[in-house]
Amino acid sequence: MSTTRLLVLGGVVRRSGRAHGYEVRRELMSWGSDEWAHVNPGSIYHALKQLAKEGMLRAHDVEESDAGPPHTDYEITEAGRAEFLRLLRCALAMVDVRHPEMLTAGLGFLTELSRDEAVGLLRQRLDGLAEWRASVVPHREEADPDDHLRELLGWWVHTADSASAWTRGLIERLEAGAYVMAGDPPPPA
Average pLDDT over residues 16-25: 80
Ranges of beta strands (E only) in 7-162 are 18-20, 57-62, 71-76
Contact indicator for 125, 92 with CB cutoff of 8 Å: yes
Per DSSP, the residues of 4-30 read: HHHHHHHHHHHH-SEEEHHHHHHHHHH
33, with CB counted inside 10 A (0-12, 13-18, 19+), is: buried
Q: Smallest Cα–Cα separation from 80: which of 25, 29, 5, 20? A: 5
Residue 65 has pLDDT above 80, yes or no: no
Contact indicator for 10, 84 with CB cutoff of 8 Å: yes
User: Confidence band (pLDDT; 50, 70, 90) for 66?
Assistant: low
Average pLDDT over residues 49-60: 94
Cα separation, 18 vs 8, whole angstroms: 13
Per-chain mean pLDDT for the chain? 90
- Stretch (H or E) spanning 158: helix 149-175
Q: Is the pTM of this model over 0.75?
A: yes
Q: How many CA atoms lie within 13 A of 15 on its CB side?
A: 22
Average pLDDT over residues 28-35: 86
Q: Smallest Cα–Cα separation from 105: which of 175, 38, 51, 26? A: 38
Residue 31: other Cβ atoms inside 10 A: 16
98-102-108 Cα angle (round to 5):
150
pLDDT digits (tens, 9 = 90+) for 116-161: 999 999 999 999 999 999 999 998 888 888 888 899 999 999 999 9
Cα separation, 157 vs 168, whole angstroms: 17
Q: What is the pLDDT of residue 34?
A: 84
Q: What is the pLDDT of residue 50?
A: 94
